[in-house]
Structure 1
Amino acid sequence: MTVYLSSQTISVFINRPAHEVYEYAYNMENFPQWVSFCQSIQKADEGDAWMMETPYCISEVRVAQKNSFGVLDHRSIPAPGVEICDAMRVITNGDGCEVFLTGFQMPGMSHDKFSQVITTGQQDLNNLKTVLEGRN
């Protein structure tokens, strides 16, 4: 039997070069400036993980290895045995770029909760746009 998770992809155009957007979004220390539920974040003691404080928990977060393809996939582990994966890409579009985020409806997640997650994701992409377009 094949397990299939519902997904939804959202995006935003950012009027900044793709490499600038990628570098900013890749830097986990910038998360509190654009990720709405990130209250603080710090490097974990070991490995490539970060520990992010949210209103709900402290979650381990890992981002894809730095690459030249604009891939910023994230894996969050808010509790043992729970892993949330978000696919994220930064793609050149003219003088600016598109940032795409695909969220997945996790097993047991209601449609209403998934809709809220997608809405929050769009707000976060809009925050990223606001922060980066406001920079000189």
Structure 2
Amino acid sequence: MSWPVQHVSISINRTPDKVYAYAAKPENLPEWAAGLSGSIRRVGETWVADSPMGQVKIRFAPENSFGILDHDVTLPNGEVVHNPMRVLRNDTESEVVFTLFQRPGMSLENLQSDANQVFEDLLKLKMILEEKD
């Protein structure tokens, strides 16, 4: 059985290479991802970040030329949340798409709240990248 899905996206007036280069660096996450607004550090192949929920572990997709920014977040309770994220070419600009799944036990209201937070994060990413250069 599949879970309900919500895609959150934003257009960014930068090339996909520039968006990917910035967003793929875990050390930049605290600048634009509110859920990881604390410190972030590398521990082996995993990144550990401070979040409002406590310490979380993050594993990122290997560097690639396809704009794939997927990452798995291990919550303090041990639950692993898979977060598909893509940078897509949109003519001369980019579209960043983040996919949210309504996991078992998650209310529609919680899904919408997460979607709103993701949109705010993507808006911050857009603002940072469009101010660069």
TM-score category of the 2 structures, normalised to the smaller one? over 0.9
Structure 2: gaps (5+ residues): none
Equivalent residue letter for 1:43? R
1:99 aligned residue (85, 88, 96): 96
Equivalent residue letter for 1:62? R
**Equivalent-residue separation in structure 1 for 2:122 and 2:25 (angstroms):** 15
**Equivalent-residue separation in structure 1 for 2:52 and 2:8 (angstroms):** 24
Moved more, 78-87 or 116-125: 78-87
Name 1:9's counterpart in structure 2: 7
Name 2:128's counterpart in structure 1: 131
**Equivalent-residue separation in structure 2 for 1:117 and 1:80 (angstroms):** 18
Is residue 106 of structure 2 the alignment partner of residue 112 of structure 1? no
Name 2:40's counterpart in structure 1: 41
Q: Percent identity?
A: 35
Structure 1 residue 79 displacement after superposition = 2.8
CA displacement, residues 10-53 of structure 1 (integer Å, 9 cap, x when unaligned) = 11110011001001000000001100121221111x2x210010
Taking only aligned residues, the RMSD between alpha carbons, in angstroms, comes to 1.0
CA contact (8 A) 2:53 2:76 kept: no
- Secondary structure in 1 matching 2:35: coil
**Regions of 4+ moved over 3 Å:** none
**Equivalent-residue separation in structure 1 for 2:7 and 2:13 (angstroms):** 20
**Equivalent-residue separation in structure 2 for 1:88 and 1:56 (angstroms):** 21
Name 1:74's counterpart in structure 2: 71
Equivalent residue letter for 2:40? I
- Secondary structure in 2 matching 1:124: helix
Aligned residues: 132
**Equivalent-residue separation in structure 1 for 2:77 and 2:12 (angstroms):** 36
Structure 1: gaps (5+ residues): none
1:86 aligned residue (80, 83, 104): 83
Moved more, 58-67 or 73-82: 73-82
**Equivalent-residue separation in structure 1 for 2:93 and 2:65 (angstroms):** 16
